């Protein structure tokens, strides 16, 4: 098995640690969105409602865009001397 697998949500390329709380997903939103995609897929297969599928794909794509922007914001913060740990503290409101 790959020692650094990527997130199980399609479209997410983040690495996942095997001891991650959300394994095989990188974090809770990927886990939740992927579950919604599976739910929607079952509904689409049963009912043929393709609009539901389009909507859940839009949701997943929006999460991927958020992750890209979050990473870009982290890189921009690092450029001015903020560490990844400090960035997490800023996001969580736990920084000093
Ligand atoms: Zn992910």
> How many angstroms does the Cα of residue 24 sit away from the middle of ligand 1?
9
Category of 81 on φ-ψ map: left (φ > 0), alpha (ψ -120 to 50) or beta: left
In this structure, what token pair is assigned to residue 9? 């949500």
Mean pLDDT for the stretch of residues 64-90: 96
Question: What one-character DSSP code corresponds to residue 4?
Answer: S
> How many angstroms does the Cα of residue 2 sit away from the middle of ligand 1?
16
In this structure, what token pair is assigned to residue 22? 């959300």
Given a cut of 80, is residue 95 above it in pLDDT? Answer: no
pLDDT attached to residue 3 = 65
Mean pLDDT across the chain, nearest whole number?
Answer: 93
Rounded Cα distance between 8 and 33, Å, is 11
Q: pTM for the whole thing?
A: 0.85
pLDDT attached to residue 96 = 63
Q: How far is CA 62 from the centre of its chain?
A: 10
Mean pLDDT for the stretch of residues 54-63: 97
Residue, of 1 and 60, whose pLDDT is higher: 60
3-state SS assignment for residue 95: coil
Q: Which residues form the domain of 8?
A: 1-96
Total domains in the fold of the chain: 1
Q: What percent of the chain has pLDDT over 90?
A: 85
> How many angstroms does the Cα of residue 16 sit away from the middle of ligand 1?
8
> How many angstroms does the Cα of residue 26 sit away from the middle of ligand 1?
4
> How many angstroms does the Cα of residue 82 sit away from the middle of ligand 1?
23
């Amino acid at each position: 098995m790959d020692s650094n697998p990527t997130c199980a949500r399609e479209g997410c390329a983040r690495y996942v640690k095997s001891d991650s709380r959300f394994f095989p997903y990188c974090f809770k939103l990927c886990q939740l969105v992927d579950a919604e995609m599976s739910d929607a897929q079952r509904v689409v297969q049963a009912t043929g409602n393709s609009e539901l599928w389009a909507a859940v794909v839009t949701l997943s794509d929006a999460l991927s865009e958020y992750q890209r922007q979050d990473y870009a914001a982290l890189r921009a913060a690092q450029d001015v001397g903020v560490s990844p740990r400090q960035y997490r503290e800023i996001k969580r409101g736990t920084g000093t």
